[in-house]
Amino acid sequence: MYKGGVVDASVRPRLRGRLHQVAFVASIPAGGVVVAAATTVEARVAAAVYALSLVALYGASGAYHWLRVESHKKRVLRRIDHSMIYVLIAGTTTPVALLALDGGWAVAVVATVWVGALSGVALKVVAKSVGGVAGSALYIVLGWAVLLALPQLVRGLSDGQLGLLLAGGALYTVGAVVLLRRRPDPLPAVFGYHELWHCFVVVAGICHYVLIFQLGRAA
């Protein structure tokens, strides 16, 4: 709704959450495909962890942005939604590390990222607020933690696979900046900055999905 040519901040964009609701539905069969494509037990387990984290992220986001519930329940859904970002980061890193890195490095990266993710979830659950710059910084640092093993990744991934990994990370990072700054905000009543953030999440997720599919199939 517009007031004097300015969008009323209390009005939700009409497309709020729609993209992640569609992504949730798509992520279920897509998760099955990426697990089925894996050629070893280790690759299937790693792909299953990733697939479950993908479904959890889109499911939590879709529910939070769609369900109309009391304010206290909405706050709970918001914490779950934000917590699942940590879970997806760790879930995405798991198959990349296990299938592209040697044993010691793989274990170290997976352990580091999951400890960080679970710590982030705990903060979201117990803290009154872990958002804004601090929240975005935690997501970005954890998301790029896999680069601690960059020399090993360069050896374990093809140029195209490394490009997919970096492109996905860059898209997530740009999206986080858009969310933090709340702009650009192209069509606030229909498709605003938050919807733009969701677009970045989906496109970044596609990059990483293709990467993990390739790694599992070649395992």
Q: What is the DSSP string of 162-216?
A: HHHHHHHHHHHHHHHHHHHHT---SBTTTB-HHHHHHHHHHHHHHHHHHHHHHHH
Q: Is residue 114 part of a domain?
A: yes
Q: Is residue 69 part of a domain?
A: yes
Q: Count of domains in the chain?
A: 1
Query: Could you tell me the CATH number of the domain that includes residue 121?
Result: 1.20.1070
Residue 77: DSSP 8-state: H
Q: Is residue 170 part of a domain?
A: yes
Q: Is residue 6 part of a domain?
A: no
Distance in angstroms (rounded) separating the CA atoms of residues 202 and 22: 10
Q: Is residue 3 part of a domain?
A: no
Distance in angstroms (rounded) separating the CA atoms of residues 79 and 24: 18
Residue whose C-alpha is closest to residue 136's, from 101, 184, 172: 172
pLDDT tens digits for the chain (219 residues)? 344 444 444 578 989 989 999 999 999 999 999 999 999 999 999 999 999 999 999 999 999 988 877 888 888 999 999 999 999 999 999 999 999 999 899 999 999 999 999 999 998 888 766 566 777 888 999 999 999 999 999 999 999 999 999 999 999 999 999 999 999 999 999 999 999 999 999 999 999 999 999 999 999
Q: Is residue 1 part of a domain?
A: no
Domain extent at residue 166: 14-218
Q: What is the pLDDT of residue 70?
A: 80
Measured CA to CA in angstroms, residue 178 lies from 29, 36, 132, 154, 199 at distances of: 30, 35, 12, 29, 11
Q: Is residue 56 part of a domain?
A: yes
